[in-house]
Structure 1
Amino acid sequence: MPLHRLAPLVLVLSLLVPVSASADGLFSPYIGSAMSQTTWGFSLAGMGRELVGFEFDLGYTPDFFVNEEPESDNNLLTLMGSVIIGAPAGPVRPYVVGGMGLMRSRIAGPSDLIEFSRNDLGINLGGGLYGFFGETFGIRGDVRYLRSLSDGGEGILDFDLGDFSFWRTSVGVVFRF
């Protein structure tokens, strides 16, 4: 079965990872850098008092594909479902995370005369640190490697947006509920 057909199944299964009844919900808006461009997004995670949880992450990077044409428009959207493993260590919680999901890339020329967009299966692997100042508020630092699993373009214009990878670093606040 091709990998792109497995993506919805893996995403659903990652959301079904059991967490204990005392799970913490974590909402974390973030800002960071990907390929020297500003990126922003949020993550929504469910972490039990144990080690394993799940995470949903949405990231958006305008002007991801750097170009010299001032009137062109491009961006990258990532939507990932991941398993998160974190060591409960009081107010500080280091974690590793890995999963897969959608990587949507878009490039448009001047006046949108030429527009190319592509949906690819992608993976992410990384880690970070949650630090809490009380029961419900904290900060988060995160570093991730993201990679498209596509083999490239085969369309009329043959743009090759597939099979690329990059690192994303981010910081954000965390709200625990």
Structure 2
Amino acid sequence: MRGAIKGLLVAGVMALLWAPASARAEGYVSPFAGVTFGNSQLEKKFNWGVNAGYMGAGVIGGEVDFGWQPNAFGEIVDNHVMDLMGNLIIGIPMGGTHGAGIRPYVTGGLGMIQSKISGLGLVPDYDKKDFGFNVGAGAMGFFSEHVGLRGDVRYFRTINNNDSSLDNGLNLDLGNFDFWRASVGVVIR
């Protein structure tokens, strides 16, 4: 039994490795550095993170976005803003999906935005995790088969549960915490 499972596993890996390139989804990872703007509460503008995703059938795909902004509210206390989003990405490859080329895209999704401030002394720590969304646009440009640059601009905003009336159970409104992020990074596919 173990031999059969091991044989099936090896056969599956071999099939993936020998599959035609055009039938594969195009996976990528893109660490980035960026700046935030559009929110006067955020004193420190530098942020960093990583995007990882795939483009199935060349045009539509999925992506996970993780962003981290240390000392977002200043350096007096320990604080940060963090986002973790699951996104849909739509991008049209110009020049094909292999080798050099450019892929402009739009993206949007839902996830969590965390604002945390700790070390305030007599005041309790503030740790708020809100449901949120992001929308944006950008481009990935490849100068080789596997390496390129990526840049985008995204808008992030929290979504609050409106508890004032529970007539349909899904009373959501836009939260009051929002910001824009512009970022650039290496993309590896």
Alignment TM-score, normalising by the size of structure 2: 0.71
Can you list the C-alpha shifts for 1:110-130, whole angstroms capped at 9, x where unaligned?
458631101100000001000
CA distance in 1: counterparts of 2:76 and 2:180, whole angstroms: 26
Mean Cα deviation higher: 107-116 or 167-176: 107-116
Instruction: Assess, with a 3 A threshold, how the Cα gap between structure 1 residues 45 and 109 changes in structure 2: closer, same or farther.
Output: same
Tell me the equivalent position of 1:8: none
For residue 22 of structure 1, report the CA deviation from its aligned partner.
1.9
Tell me the equivalent position of 1:139: 149
**Alignment RMSD (CA, Å):** 2.0
Aligned counterpart for 1:72 among listed residues 71, 77, 88:
77
Equivalent positions of 1:43-54 (< 5 A) are 43-54=51-62
The residue type equivalent to 1:121 in the other structure is F
Aligned counterpart for 1:98 among listed residues 108, 112, 137:
108
Tell me the equivalent position of 2:89: 84
Task: Judge conservation of contact 2:27–2:55 (CA < 8 Å) in 1.
Answer: yes
1:28 is the counterpart of 2:30: yes
CA distance in 1: counterparts of 2:133 and 2:122, whole angstroms: 30
Task: Judge conservation of contact 1:103–1:148 (CA < 8 Å) in 2.
Answer: yes
Tell me the equivalent position of 2:159: 149
- How many aligned positions are there? 145
Tell me the equivalent position of 1:17: none
1:42 is the counterpart of 2:47: no
Gaps of 5+ in 1: 1-19, 153-161
Structure 1 moving runs of 4+ over 2 Å: 109-114
**Which secondary structure state, in structure 2, belongs to the residue aligned with residue 50 of structure 1?**
coil
CA distance in 1: counterparts of 2:36 and 2:107, whole angstroms: 18
For residue 21 of structure 1, report the CA deviation from its aligned partner.
4.0
Q: Alignment identity in percent? A: 45
Task: Judge conservation of contact 1:71–1:111 (CA < 8 Å) in 2.
Answer: no
1:171 is the counterpart of 2:181: no
The residue type equivalent to 2:58 in the other structure is E
CA distance in 2: counterparts of 1:96 and 1:149, whole angstroms: 21
Task: Judge conservation of contact 2:26–2:58 (CA < 8 Å) in 1.
Answer: no
